[in-house]
Amino acid sequence: MNFFKKLTMTGVGVALSLVLVACGGGTNGSSSSSSNSGVTPRKLTIAVVASDQTKKQTAAVKTTAKKLSKKLAMPVKTKIVKNSKTLLQDLKKKKVDVGFFPAADLNLANAASKGVQRYNYDRDSDSTTTGKATTYRSVVLVKNDATMTSLSDLQDKTIATASKTSAAQYIWPAASLKQKGLDLATDAKTMQTSSAKTMLSKVITGQADAALLYEGQLQKLIASNSKLLDQVTPLTYTKKVPNSNLAMRSDLSRKFENKFAKAFIKVAKSKSGNQALSRIYDNEGFMTASSSNLKVVRNWEKAAAKR
């Protein structure tokens, strides 16, 4: 099956980018920049949203912070917050300087200016040569022996999803399905679950007729359980959407912004840095980017709002 051939040949990860958010100044010991408007911080605080593996995540963020501290020659602290809303508020209240955001949430943060784009392995090719990509797709999965072959077959069926605030596992696929004629709010029943593994379990056991995941998640599950190759199959995909983002306070000087971007890229390229970042949100690497990448997010947000 082409779909699973692609998955098993490529790496796991979701892409991130670094852009600036218009969230005001900082209190982490900032001083005026002599080269341009904005401030140059004397210390930095990086925050991430807690996942279901917070302990592992916390250790990975601390490792990343330690490496960044050496590159930037300044103290770098870490913070774990409960959700993106809290992270955005902490940026606005100047409690943190940098944060990891899902693309949809970063769009709400009024992102602007250039930064660093995280890349991922290219899943659009059947070749064993892995290219780089800054996007991902969500996928609607059904049981292999199911009679469903088209979206119309999901009418009045039960679909396992994550929280309705999840971009990859609800917002993007919900908007995509509605554009294709299936409105999750009126044409089907949704079953919110706690994890991708639970979603697939619901489909395999017949408790749900379909599940909404993103390719990276499915790939990880297949790596840990190859039997999934014979149990589930994709019904449809969403269009490509940008992955999560790393956002900075917008009041920092351009000189420091560039310094941070270069330092972060170097950390991500190192073997130990890559290993640490991969434990945060399956990160694989970073490259330069701009907020224009979020244009597609705004379009999808509009589509999702109409669901």
Q: Is 113 left (phi over 0), alpha (psi -120 to 50) or beta?
A: left
Confidence at residue 134, expressed as pLDDT on a 0 to 100 scale: 66
Question: What ranges do the domains of the chain cover?
Answer: 17-121+243-292, 138-239
Q: What is the mean pLDDT of residues 266-295?
A: 73
In the CATH scheme, what is the homologous superfamily, with its name and number, of domain 138-239? Answer: Periplasmic binding protein-like II (3.40.190.10)
What is the C-alpha separation between 200 and 129, in angstroms, rounded? 29
pLDDT value at 121 more than 80: no
Q: How confident is the model at residue 251 (pLDDT cuts 50, 70, 90)?
A: confident
- What is the predicted pLDDT for the residue at 293? 61
Per mean pLDDT, which range of 67-71, 237-241, 283-287 is the poorest? 283-287
Per-residue model confidence (pLDDT) at position 77: 95
Which range, 45-59, 70-84, 127-141, has the best average confidence (pLDDT)? Answer: 70-84
Contact 292, 107 (CB under 8 A): no
State the CB neighbour count (10 A cutoff) for residue 194: 10
Equal CATH topology for 17-121+243-292 and 138-239: yes
CATH homologous superfamily for the domain 17-121+243-292: Periplasmic binding protein-like II (3.40.190.10)
Does residue 76 surpass a pLDDT of 90? Answer: yes
Between 38 and 51, residue with greater pLDDT = 38
- Greater model confidence, 112 or 131: 131
Average predicted confidence (pLDDT) for the chain: 75
How is residue 263 annotated by DSSP? H
Sign of the dihedral through C-alpha 48, 247, 24, 302 = negative
C-alpha triplet 307, 22, 18: angle, nearest 5°: 80
Question: Which region among 15-24, 93-102, 226-235, 276-285 has the lowest average model confidence (pLDDT)?
Answer: 15-24
10-19, 136-145, 242-251, 281-290: which range is least confident on average? 10-19
